[in-house]
Amino acid sequence: MGCLGLCLFFHLENARYQPILLVGLAGFLAMVLFIIITLDRPMCGDMGITSDSDQLIYEHHMKP
């Protein structure tokens, strides 16, 4: 998160764009962290992957 502090050192001719830059960068970092945390546990939660497809493949290939 140090890059948010480093953004304050960039000189912009129009000072209105500095908060936009900081909010955009903070939002991007928040989304990246959210995706990393979400994809770290793919089997948990409401959007988790179920074992139904694995069970179907197992039953299909194990039939005599």
Are 42 and 49 in contact by the 8 Å Cβ rule? The answer is yes
Report pLDDT digits (tens) over 17-62.
888 888 888 899 999 999 998 888 877 777 777 888 888 888 888 8
pLDDT at 47: 72
Q: Report the candidate in 3, 41, 51, 10 with the shortest Cα–Cα distance to residue 25.
A: 3
pLDDT at 30: 94
pLDDT at 40: 85
The residue among 7 and 54 whose pLDDT is bigger is 54
Q: What is the pTM of this model?
A: 0.58
